[in-house]
Structure 1
Amino acid sequence: MKTTFLKACAVAALALTIAGSASAHRAWMLPSSFTLSGEGQWVTVDGAISNNLFYPNHHAMNLDSVTVTGPDGAAVEAQNKASGKYRSVFDVALEKEGTYRISSGGDGYMASWEEAGERKRWRGDAEKLKAEGIEAKPGVQVSRSVRRIETFVTLGAPNEAAFATDGTGLELKPVTHPNDVFAGEEVSFQLLLDGAPAEGIEVDIIRGSDRYRNSEDGLKLTTNADGTITFTPEEAGAYWLNAGAEGKSTLNGKEIDVRSSYVVTFEALPL
């Protein structure tokens, strides 16, 4: 009787642990292949916000802000865009050899204020913020959000033209090329925040298919003074890296909160 009760408690605790680990909604993009060879290749990219990594079960990703940067730094069109209930999808033609950056994100503002006894909320870009006079609202609180969700695909030999940064929010400057990662080998990535090394940023790295594990088995790291993290993926597979930072900025002389986030999906190949 006692043994049965203890087993039941253990099962319940395990279920709560799994439910807790799966409760966070995570945004991601996953290409059908990370590395290819030959000519005239294509990749299909899935995009979603889900409870489990690479298993679409919550919400499809909005494709309005998707951009693709080719190996020469020029823009490449994302083709055949479509969105369903839980997953979005699009294709990218790889016509030139090198590394392609596939990215989604935005830089926008959020505001809230009290008006006629009712709480008002607003979201938009800097141009609309000014045009609509949001800053002039009595008691308004304004914050800024800069987010990026990325993945990288290489045709033939990798290169680094697609890694050019613009000095806004969190950005990846690879020490190890994300398409040159192998299980059992050390990997280093550098994160920049507004163009400078992002020191002290917490980073989560989780191998995909966590739906089929009892725990996430993720890594929690902190960037060093150079904004760098170093780790060794133990198993082959697709990985999800997430980082976030909070800070302050000024908007027309007023201090506001700024939240930056960065997500990248990469693959660790077997040796």
Structure 2
Amino acid sequence: MRFKTRIATCLAVLCGAFGSAQAHNVWLLPSSTVLSKAEWITVDAAVSNDLFYFNHVPLGLDNLVVTAPDGAALAPENAHKGKLRSVFDLNLSQTGTYRLAVVNDGLFATYKDKAGANKRWRGPAGKFAAEVPADAQDLKVTQSVGRIETFVTVGKPSAVRPTGKGLELVAVTHPNDLVKGEQATFAFHVDGQPAPGLEVVLVPGATRYRDSKDEIKATTDAEGRFSVTWPTAGMYWVDADASDAKTSLPQAKERRLSYVGTLEVLP
């Protein structure tokens, strides 16, 4: 059952999870995704066994970025980290589309110290040189770059501008204009370039109330695009993963990229 993100261990730690996070789902869940006027919303964030239910651990919000329609950063309010979920509020005063994302970029290293003992290290690239010995033996470093996001629109939708960094969903169909029975088209880009041949998995929520997975699978074309016709209304979890050697640290030989999104499909 592919209800997992395949995010590298380093990313799981940065997100605030622990243990075997690869067996669980990560997600952001807004109280509303489409608003007719300026309002407050509440957003839940968790690492869970079932989609959109709080039954494992909270998702860390240290790397939360909320981008307003005019491109400015919006500060979350009333942020709280509980035992099973994190939560924060947003005062959405502008007309247009907001992008809510937890963006992680970190390293995971294994090596042997002078005594030959096996060591592990996790953390941001900025701390690598200071915390990993320069003479470390059998050094293996992996970079993990991940984006966990959702979208909320107030009034008229506005364009969602790609950042050009890491693996990200690019809107062809607007992410807040999804309707049951209609086809939507998106693209995946890596560092601003189309990502062809990428497997995409979409799963409707409320997984605890059904026996079947109801996965929808697609593969991106030469332009990084894929299409889906929504069979039911509700919240959907979108997952894609990629890897390459385009690391930002010379010692890292592999970069693992992950994307998780939450989309709402209306009746």
TM-score, structure 1 normalization: 0.87
Give the 3-state SS of the residue equivalent to 1:140 in structure 2: strand
Maintained 8 Å contact 1:134/1:140: no
Residue 164 (str. 1) matches residue 161 (str. 2): yes
Which residue among 204, 212, 215 is the counterpart of 1:215? 212
The amino acid that maps onto 2:231 is E
Residue 259 (str. 1) matches residue 251 (str. 2): no
Displacement of 1:94 in angstroms is 0.4
Inter-CA distance 211–135: structure 2 relative to 1 (3 Å threshold): farther
Displacement of 1:126 in angstroms is 1.8
> What are the equivalent positions in structure 2 for 1:200-211 lying under 5 Å apart?
200-211=197-208
Residue 229 (str. 1) matches residue 226 (str. 2): yes
Displacement of 1:168 in angstroms is 2.1
Cα distance in 2, alignment partners of residues 236 and 256 from structure 1? 42
Cα distance in 2, alignment partners of residues 210 and 99 from structure 1? 28
Displacement of 1:85 in angstroms is 1.0
> What are the equivalent positions in structure 2 for 1:29-108 lying under 5 Å apart?
29-39=28-38, 41-108=39-106
Cα distance in 1, alignment partners of residues 28 and 77 from structure 2? 15
Maintained 8 Å contact 2:44/2:88: yes
Give the 3-state SS of the residue equivalent to 1:249 in structure 2: coil
Inter-CA distance 252–187: structure 2 relative to 1 (3 Å threshold): closer
Which residue among 170, 182, 186 is the counterpart of 2:183? 186
Aligned equivalent of 1:150? 149
Inter-CA distance 147–135: structure 2 relative to 1 (3 Å threshold): farther
Give the 3-state SS of the residue equivalent to 1:130 in structure 2: helix
- The 4+ residue runs of structure 1 with deviation greater than 6 A are none
* CA deviation string 1:207-253 (max 9, x = no partner): 00011011110111111111111010110000000000011135665
Cα distance in 1, alignment partners of residues 260 and 81 from structure 2? 20
Maintained 8 Å contact 1:21/1:215: no
Displacement of 1:194 in angstroms is 1.6
| Structure number with higher helix proportion | 1
Give the 3-state SS of the residue equivalent to 1:127 in structure 2: helix
Asked which structure has the greater CA Rg, the reply is 1
Displacement of 1:46 in angstroms is 0.4
Sequence identity (%): 47
Give the 3-state SS of the residue equivalent to 2:186 in structure 1: strand
Displacement of 1:68 in angstroms is 0.5
Displacement of 1:132 in angstroms is 3.2
Inter-CA distance 82–253: structure 2 relative to 1 (3 Å threshold): closer
* CA deviation string 1:64-104 (max 9, x = no partner): 11110000000001110011111111001101100000100
Cα distance in 2, alignment partners of residues 225 and 21 from structure 1? 25
Residue 132 (str. 1) matches residue 131 (str. 2): yes
Aligned residues: CA RMSD: 1.7
Maintained 8 Å contact 1:241/1:265: yes
The amino acid that maps onto 2:59 is M
Maintained 8 Å contact 2:143/2:252: no
Inter-CA distance 98–252: structure 2 relative to 1 (3 Å threshold): closer
Inter-CA distance 109–135: structure 2 relative to 1 (3 Å threshold): farther
Please list every run of 5 or more consecutive structure 1 residues that lacks an aligned counterpart in the other structure.
1-19
Maintained 8 Å contact 1:94/1:155: yes
Aligned equivalent of 1:7? none
* CA deviation string 1:131-176 (max 9, x = no partner): 335554222101100000000000000001xx33332210111000
Cα distance in 2, alignment partners of residues 235 and 114 from structure 1? 52
